[in-house]
Structure 1
Amino acid sequence: MSTALLQELHQEVKRLYIAGSELAAEDFRLKRLLPQFQQLGERAPIFKRLGEGIALVIASEPSEGFSSAQQLQDLSVLLSSVLHTQGVTSPDGELLEVQVHPLRLPTQFSYRKLSAVQLALSTRGGGRYEIIKEAYEAGLFQDLRMIHPTIAALQDPYVEIAELVMKQILPAYGPQIIPILRDQFDLTGGIVETRKLYVIATLGGDSVQDLVYQAADSGSEDVRAMAISLLAGKERYEEDLLAWSKDKKKKIREAAYNALAKSDSASVLNRLYEAFTGKDSELVVPALRQCQAQELTNRLVEEVSDMLQTVPEMKDDKKKIDGLWNRVVHYIRVLSYKHSPELEKLYLNVLEQYPLYMNQLSWNALIEEATSYLRQIDSAEAKGALQRTLERNLIYFKNNRRYVNDVFKDAYLLFPPERVYEQYVDVLKHYAPSSTNHNSSMAQQLLRTISEIAVQRYHGTYDAVWNSPADQIQYMYKIEMQSSEALAIQWDSRWLDVFIELDQYELVSAFARPGHPKAMQYLLRKLTDNPEFRHRFANILLMGLERSGISKQRLQEALLVALEDDRNTECRLIEPYTFEQLCQLPASFASRIITVLPRFSEVAEEQLEYVIRLMQGPSNPIEEV
């Protein structure tokens, strides 16, 4: 007997149990089923009885002596009896033993702790990466219940999460998860399968090499590319890698080239060189950059040297010189990650011919590559070549923005401080904050470049000592300046007066020094005009005042005056230096801080409360906050 119709009736009966039997009268779904049961009832009495039961349930008025609930119950009992006697409960197919992969992991964390991480792994949306990373660092993934959600996260559409799972979280479980990953691994799959294969190979090493080779030989394109990369540096597969480097598919050839780059055998070097001079010249560049074989490096240096020797004779033929330049650029891209005496000699020669390559041909990239290489060489010859090149750059880029950016940075490193000042100070004569003309823009860029060198800005963690527990951290914006000693040696002292004249408070703060009262007065005046802690001005100005040699008492009074200023409101976070200065205030300032506390909120309020608690030490009992 087919149970499809019976199962459908069973679902409708369940629905009415939930909705209530009073709603069964004239139920259109049961009315739709009734004719089918009546038709089958002509041949099978049981269907006739079920049809009669349906008719009673959907009747407008219940039968005399029976409620709608009783009639629905009678139909349900009859239907359940039929289903239990006619239904099939045994599964189809052959019975096999369940494959079990035991894991040595505890279930030590409460579900409350794990639920947020599992939700981040299984849902979509922003903010999940931080939750997952913090959970990994806290060790929450070392729980048996986290393995399968973590493996499933390999298919997360947010690549950073999938990469974190692949490279850090899953490998932390160790080889015990290899059987689970192997059971789920599909040779014909896509990017998710490549991630599984990566984890298997990372944890399994030589014991899974057969699987990796099989994937490289017969997997999907994505799987093959990953597997081939995992065979890099393994001598036994070198012949296979050479064969795959001639595959019809570009992605496979590229993976094979990158894997071959880990070898330095003659056959491998010849194949990489053949690809570089053939149709795969672009494709093989990343592999050649990785390859550390000195033999191949010398060969490429020799060839590009020969090319450059032909430049003088063809420099007037634009078509030929453009074609040669395209080839030279290709070699430069490969050699940018190489080092050899021959390459040093080549680049020294390039810089000596600056007028040809730069002035006549505008081969800027060649000069830049030679300069970049020689900066890494600690020799008098290299330094001399760089200085001569810098002198030429000062002329070549005189009206270019690079003159006040890259060229200035080179001058700062290679020239005496007084030479740098004399070379560049005239640029600042054209400074106008709101002007957009060329000369003013050059001056504005020069000030930005100087600031980049003298002042470092970054976001970083800070021990939130005002919190409890004290091991909490706060993410804060930090400012660090070159030390006063370094500034005195590496910069001309005349810069400070220029910065005061141009009203560059940040640079004045960095370059301020004892014995320069003009700088101290300037910074005190700027702090009076800009006391708000919600901006970064006050923090920087206070740092400058300390550098100016101001007395501790005077600095602390300036800090408190700024704190008490009516404009100092809406501050939610006090920056590190200012907070540290507040923590050093004597207890006599406590009442003044308590007075202004209501103006501050969030973290800033907590910081000031901490400062007051410091002042309320056992020997300084004062009014509670």
Structure 2
Amino acid sequence: MSVDILFNLQEETRRLFIAGSAMAAGDLRMTKLLPSIQKLGESSPVFKRLSGAVEELLHADREESAVKLLELSTLLGAILYTQGKTETAGESIPIQGSGVELRTESTYRKLHPFIEALTTKGQGRLEQIRASFEDGSFLDLRALPAVCSALDDSYSEIPDFVQTKLIPAFGRDAVPVLQKQLNLQGGKGDGRRLLLLHQQLGSSIIEFVKKAANSGSPEVKIAAITILGEYPEQESLLQELSLEKRKEVRLAAFFSLAKLGTSAAMQRLYEAATSKDREIAVEPVQKGASSALFSRLIQFGSEALERYSVQEGKARTESVEQIATVIRCLEGSGRQMAEEACSFLRKLLTTKSFLVQETENVQESAAALLLELDLPEADQFAVELSDNNKGTFIRYGFRAASKLMSPEEVYIRFSDVLGNGKSRAAKQLLSAVLELAAEQSRADGEHDGYGAVPEELWDTRWIGQFIRLEQTELVCLFAQRAKREITGYLSAKLQAARLNDWNALEILLTLFRIRYKNAPELYMELLEKSSVRSMYYLSWQHTHLLAFMPKAYTERLRAFAEKVTYESVRNQILAIIDALEEKPDELNEESGRSILKWIKNKMS
């Protein structure tokens, strides 16, 4: 066939372009093709001209070979272009358009990085996707298939962003692509596609959603069940799905039933919470927040406690687990079930047979729930519990007492427990004090993370106990003024400190906060005696401490900075020192936040 001969000639021509035109003279492969081309020339003038061009190349001198090879290639290319066919075999049929109205106004140069971020792997992709989202260039027809395909991306933050931001921005224009890509037997990405289709099409696809719930893969089935929770008429199907073998499918069905909130749905959740499904039923029960269901579970817990008292072995362990599940279900119910829950917890925590080592975890969960109820009777009971069994319940009793009593009364009631700080009760109490003090100090916006407890909420005698027990963190949290007892203790702790010791930095921040006159010198001594090689970065603590230094120390600080090994850290320190030299004298009397704010503004 003539076209095949021409393609063979084109291949040989390309070979000579690569090898060099000087190799064309007498080329064996080209010589072998010449008779076939000459035969074609007998029927057409253009082929005769082509055979002549081949002959001229085969007999050309080295100087002329390049020109002859180029002439042959040009003529051959022109002939081949005339031999192609543009028609398609078969019958023409109309096609249905998608109705997508997206434009293609962005240049491909601008769009390409976005599509590449969606379709490749590597770092920095999410940042590029967010940038394209912010400037709106992603809303392009050419990007839509890649956007929808990115729902399958292995880096979870990208599918999350695509699902919540990108595809909703496309709106209904994304529907045809989502429908085409959706595979009912697919993975998590297909579950996302189903959710997005329902978001755009609503109840019009409910039959398709039911099909996905019945026959889809686990991931698609879970998405379908989530959708069904918005349709009360699908409750019977959800009831069936809540009996599936796969735990994750049952869990999804429980959540959807909780969303429906009907009496039948609550009955199914009760059955789940009182059966082997109790572990996965807790969150759906909490979400349902049904007072009637909570009441039934409290009754069930009371019955389990009665059974526990007369059981042994595995049966007794089962009752303990049932009681633990009831307590977990009640977490978050707050004042909704306060009185009933308090009665149940009182009964539980006063049953002597239950107050044994094997049930300590459940006892603590019950005591924590007492505090959550925010009921005076519950708080009072928690305080009473701490009197009866200080090792187990003292932390909860202390928190409850802090709500009910004055600071002086709390101190008198609990300080004797501390002793030498080594008993179980003392450790529990110190832990509770630290927990509460840390919560209160975080609310101190004045000092940006190194604050103190509100002075009016604590008895002043606590800090003496903490110094006696070497509780440095608590001393820092409770220090209010530069008293000799406090500054002496904290200063002594700095003697063996190192540059990046967390405790040392907290101590120094505290000394600056209480305006201890020797704090700058103590910090300067710590800097000068420490190895600058260990200063890999400038922590927020060092940033604050440097900002608090008086101008008189700038020369010594600059000498220290010049020795810092890492250039980036050295430059940061020098920038702060430059700002310090311009700090007005009156700022030294301002709060820590004011000083730091001035420094930052000066450096910006």
TM-score, normalization: structure 2? 0.73
Q: Kindly state the Cα deviation for residue 229 of structure 1 after the two structures are TM-superposed.
A: 0.7
Query: What are the Cα deviations for residues 201-260 of structure 1, in whole angstroms up to 9, with x where unaligned?
Result: 335545665654554456444323212212213223334433444567665554333322
Secondary structure, counterpart of 2:85 in structure 1? coil
Residues 119-134 of structure 1: pairs in structure 2 closer than 5 A:
119-126=116-123, 128-129=125-126, 131=127
In the alignment, structure 1 residue 166 sits paired with structure 2 residue 136: no
Q: Kindly state the Cα deviation for residue 593 of structure 1 after the two structures are TM-superposed.
A: 4.1
**Which piece of structure 1 moves more, 3-12 or 222-231?**
3-12
Q: Kindly state the Cα deviation for residue 138 of structure 1 after the two structures are TM-superposed.
A: 5.1
In the alignment, structure 1 residue 390 sits paired with structure 2 residue 386: yes
For the aligned residues, what is the CA RMSD? 5.2
1:225 matched to which residue of 2?
222
In the alignment, structure 1 residue 381 sits paired with structure 2 residue 377: yes
Amino acid paired to 2:505: N
In the alignment, structure 1 residue 101 sits paired with structure 2 residue 65: no
1:309 to 302, 306, 311: 306
Q: Kindly state the Cα deviation for residue 357 of structure 1 after the two structures are TM-superposed.
A: 1.0
Aligned residue pairs, count: 567
Q: Find the aligned partners of 1:383 and 1:556 in 2 and give their Cα distance.
A: 45
Q: Find the aligned partners of 2:123 and 2:80 in 1 and give their Cα distance.
A: 49
Q: Structure 1 residues 227, 283: closer, same or farther in 2, change over 3 A? A: same
In the alignment, structure 1 residue 497 sits paired with structure 2 residue 467: yes
Q: Find the aligned partners of 2:226 and 2:196 in 1 and give their Cα distance.
A: 13
Q: Kindly state the Cα deviation for residue 483 of structure 1 after the two structures are TM-superposed.
A: 2.5
2:417 to 412, 423, 432: 423
Q: Structure 1 residues 390, 194: closer, same or farther in 2, change over 3 A? A: same
Q: Find the aligned partners of 2:456 and 2:13 in 1 and give their Cα distance.
A: 87
Secondary structure, counterpart of 1:261 in structure 2? helix
2:358 matched to which residue of 1?
362
Q: Kindly state the Cα deviation for residue 495 of structure 1 after the two structures are TM-superposed.
A: 2.5
Query: What are the Cα deviations for residues 527-561 of structure 1, in whole angstroms up to 9, with x where unaligned?
Result: 565473x554553232221354524xx44454455
Amino acid paired to 1:265: T
Secondary structure, counterpart of 1:426 in structure 2? coil
Contact 2:26–2:59 (8 Å) recurs in 1: no
Query: What are the Cα deviations for residues 248-303 of structure 1, in whole angstroms up to 9, with x where unaligned?
Result: 76655543333222113233334444556678666655534432333333233323
1:542 to 508, 527, 531: 508
1:321 matched to which residue of 2?
316
Contact 1:516–1:548 (8 Å) recurs in 2: no
Amino acid paired to 2:100: H
1:485 to 441, 445, 455: 455
1:473 matched to which residue of 2?
none
Structure 1: 5+ residue stretches without partners: 398-405, 430-438, 463-477, 620-624
Contact 2:151–2:189 (8 Å) recurs in 1: yes
Residues 109-508 of structure 1: pairs in structure 2 closer than 5 A:
111=110, 119-126=116-123, 128-129=125-126, 131=127, 135=131, 144=140, 147-206=144-203, 209=206, 212-213=209-210, 215-216=212-213, 219-245=216-242, 252-273=249-270, 284=281, 286-312=283-309, 314-315=310-311, 317-329=312-324, 331-336=326-331, 338=333, 340=337, 341-353=339-351, 355-359=352-356, 362-395=358-391, 408=395, 411=398, 414=401, 416-428=410-422, 454-455=437-438, 479-483=449-453, 485=455, 488-489=458-459, 492-499=462-469, 502=470, 505-508=472-475
Secondary structure, counterpart of 1:124 in structure 2? coil
Q: Find the aligned partners of 1:457 and 1:115 in 2 and give their Cα distance.
A: 51
Q: Kindly state the Cα deviation for residue 349 of structure 1 after the two structures are TM-superposed.
A: 1.1
Contact 1:509–1:547 (8 Å) recurs in 2: no
Structure 2: 5+ residue stretches without partners: 403-409, 586-602
Identify, as 1 or 2, the structure richer in helix: 2
Secondary structure, counterpart of 2:364 in structure 1? helix
Q: Find the aligned partners of 2:200 and 2:459 in 1 and give their Cα distance.
A: 53
Query: What are the Cα deviations for residues 80-124 of structure 1, in whole angstroms up to 9, with x where unaligned?
Result: 45643443334456464764522379749983xx77665543332
Q: Share of identical aligned residues, percent?
A: 25
Q: Structure 1 residues 68, 577: closer, same or farther in 2, change over 3 A? A: same
